[in-house]
Amino acid sequence: MNPAANNNAYLYAAYIVVWVIHSVYALSLFSRGRHMKREARELNAANAQSRR
């Protein structure tokens, strides 16, 4: 067994970092999408109200 093979903690740390970054970015996209949908709904409601 190569002594360098005992460095699995670094390997797992690197993989965890990759997935944390991608997950955080995906969540930020999801949250921005929800925020924009709400903003569009509010804008439409405000426009409809001003037309009345």
Partner 1 sequence: MKILFKSCLVLTALLLGYGFCQAMYIAPTEATMGDVQRIFYYHLPSAWVAFLLFFVNFLASVWYLIRRSVAADAMALASAEVGVSFCTIVLITGPIWARPIWGIWWTWDARLTSTLVLWLIYVSYLVLRHYASGGQVPVLAAALGIFGFVDVPIVYMAIRWFRTQHPQPVIGGGQGSGLDPTMWHAVLWNLAAFAMLAFMFVWVRYRQAIVEHELEEAHAQASLDYETEGAQ
Please tell me whether residue 48 binds partner 1 under the rule CB under 8 A.
Answer: no
Integer Cα distance of 11 and 7 in angstroms: 7
34-50 burial: b if 16+ Cβ within 10 Å, else e: eeeeeeeeeeeeeeeee
For residues 12-41, which are near partner 1 according to CB under 8 A? 13-15, 17-18, 21-22, 25-26, 29, 32-33, 36, 39-40
| Site residues, partner 1 (CB under 8 A) | 2-8, 10-11, 13-15, 17-18, 21-22, 25-26, 29, 32-33, 36, 39-40, 43, 46-47, 50
